[in-house]
Chains A and B, each alone.
Chain A
């Protein structure tokens, strides 16, 4: 399966990437906005919120899976959508898992940056939206790493996707659930081989982002 690179394996790899990249994109969208808003705002209970955001970075995947399962189950409040055991359910679970990571890490980066620029922003009389835009643009390279941290967490977790996806062959089987399955069959060599492929995929995504970053940085200096 591994050496021949057959279509089953390709299907699993493509689904893994599709689910985790989509989850990362949605989580970045929500997480960066939340992170930026919290970074530049001062309000009552802010410290408590920061502690909560940081603590949620440690959300156990299996708990997220269970919560999403209970909501999407046909006997749950969102059961009528029929989303359980679909890739959409897996995207939803991974999004919930990694949004706090992206929000908390980007909040820290943007807050540090904001402290540096605060006076300048004030003298320019920027609106809140313009401030956020400027901060996000200025911190874009650091934020890329934040996105990668989120993607890494998403693509590597098995606890959530195996509950809400069900590890159904040709439908919701991804790399990590396939590895869990092969391990449970006692086919440790195949499980390990799949694990190595997963690592290579993660390397590939990171290398792609790195090259985008370097190209952009080079152009910026010209």
Chain B
């Protein structure tokens, strides 16, 4: 009797779950930067009004987003780590990858600027100065798009920061916002995408120290997940969303998103 009761309640749970699933909804595996910047809150209602498709965003680091997508737990992938994205498509998990938009990375630091990097535009030079001064630097350390970018920038210098991990190089292993909170708490320099920084509420005396280097370009791409690998994908809705983002209308909406009169993302999808 006990067994049947538990069985019945398990069944009830499953049925309740099934009833919640909507046909015209998709899951987007995305990065924290696009979500934390408020872009989706602005963009998704417009898309939903036009198409009636409900978009559910799971915002995690790029590394985790790609892994989740490889487990078929999503319909569209929207991240910023071109090399990893191309690998994802080459492995058959995604159908096509399209450039969507970009913003850029900046290095923020305390107003006191212990490594004297304020105003620099050469990012490798600035990182070298920070390392030589032994000034604290907080890294994401979480295999996210931002972390991959930071690692590649260090690789262009002759310094291996991980040799000083725990000393002046602090790997937080958490998201952008959490790393900013931690970095600001300990007075460390932090590399962040500009959109998250503009939208960040706990800046204290922190300012942008280093910006403007072309190497700090942050390209976002959009990839519908391949139904050949993941049969449960909502193919039509996923394609509709990806197509809309790179269409003239979608690109216009991305460009129109502003905080304090600052544009956060710059659309650069190839002409359709």
Residue B66, interface by CB 8 Å: no
Q: How far is the CA of A167 from the CA of B199 in the complex (A)?
A: 19
Q: Could you say which interface size class chain A belongs to?
A: 35 or more
Q: How far is the CA of A183 from the CA of B177 in the complex (A)?
A: 7
0/1 interface trace, chain A 62-87, chain B, CB 8 Å (1 if under): 00000000000111100111111111
In the bound complex, do residue B20 and residue A33 qualify as a contact, i.e. CB atoms below 8 Å apart?
no
Residues from chain B with a CB closer than 8 A to the CB of A87 are: 17, 20
Residue A89, interface by CB 8 Å: yes
- In the complex, how many angstroms separate the beta carbon of B61 from the nearest chain A beta carbon? 11
Using A33-B2, A185-B177, A187-B202 as known contacts, say yes or no to A85 and B230 having CB atoms under 8 A apart: no
Cβ-neighbour of B14 out of A29, A74, A88, A189 (below 8 A): A88
- In the complex, how many angstroms separate the beta carbon of A94 from the nearest chain B beta carbon? 12
Closest to A171 in B: B56
Residues from chain A with a CB closer than 8 A to the CB of B72 are: 73-75, 79
Q: How far is the CA of A175 from the CA of B32 in the complex (A)?
A: 19
- In the complex, how many angstroms separate the beta carbon of B37 from the nearest chain A beta carbon? 9
In the bound complex, do residue B181 and residue A183 qualify as a contact, i.e. CB atoms below 8 Å apart?
yes
Residue A168, interface by CB 8 Å: yes
Residues from chain B with a CB closer than 8 A to the CB of A26 are: 9, 13
Chain B residues touching A, majority SS: helix
Q: How far is the CA of A168 from the CA of B202 in the complex (A)?
A: 23
In the bound complex, do residue B201 and residue A187 qualify as a contact, i.e. CB atoms below 8 Å apart?
yes
Q: How far is the CA of A184 from the CA of B201 in the complex (A)?
A: 9
Q: Which of A30, A169, A186 gathers most chain B CB within 10 Å?
A: A186
Residues from chain B with a CB closer than 8 A to the CB of A185 are: 36, 177, 199-201
Residue A166, interface by CB 8 Å: yes
Cβ-neighbour of B201 out of A81, A84, A89, A186 (below 8 A): A186
User: Could you list 12 examples of A-B contacts with CB < 8 Å?
Assistant: A33-B2, A74-B72, A81-B14, A82-B18, A88-B20, A183-B178, A184-B175, A184-B181, A186-B201, A187-B201, A188-B201, A188-B202
Told that A92-B13, A186-B203 touch, could you supply 17 new A-B pairs with CB distance under 8 A? A26-B13, A29-B6, A73-B71, A75-B72, A82-B21, A85-B27, A86-B20, A86-B21, A87-B17, A166-B58, A167-B59, A169-B40, A169-B56, A186-B200, A188-B181, A189-B201, A190-B201
